[in-house]
Structure 1
Amino acid sequence: MSGNFLVIEPEEGIAVLKGLASLARISMLKLLHEKGPMNVNDIAAVLSLPQSTVSTNIQVLEDAGLIRTENQKAKKGSQKICYPTAEEVLVVFKSE
């Protein structure tokens, strides 16, 4: 295992588990880990998904703490750049 990972307990990590409960969101996370930071439009193009679908799912991933975003100036307006927050996500089931 590498150094930067997120460890959650199921009862306390419901938001993270919800963030992972979609094939589209898992595909987005995998893509960001493979390619590095990307903007929403590039993610949509690579995954052949509508930009609106990607934007909605990016917000869920950000709310779950699985990615972070930054707005950067673009030729017209701004673009949202997405970064993964952890290299690995571990779900730990502890016995009491």
Structure 2
Amino acid sequence: MAKAKRARAHVARLDLTPAQAAVLDGHAHIARALWNLLHEYFTFRQGRFPSPKECDAAIRQARHEIDWMGQLPAQAAQAVLKTYRQAWANFFNPGHPAKRPTF
């Protein structure tokens, strides 16, 4: 007789200090701003979408030239880019119910 497998889950809650919460909140706002800048960059070029290499170069340049953009870790910026490109891929996938990415 086979034993039934029991589903187990562990939830780890963050217990952040006010300073840590402020940093995390700031990163979230910067990530949202980066999404909006990427959206403008994509929709401004009305003939073709930029390649991932072009987007990466633009993000690197922005992180050096814009002070507040440099506060976002590079890995987080790349995650925003990956999520944004996936949003477009979902939009163009006929079997996916995703809507066009917006600001």
Task: Normalising by structure 2, report the TM-score.
Answer: 0.35
Higher RCO (CA < 8 A, seq sep 6+): 1
The structure number with the bigger radius of gyration is 2
Higher strand share: 1
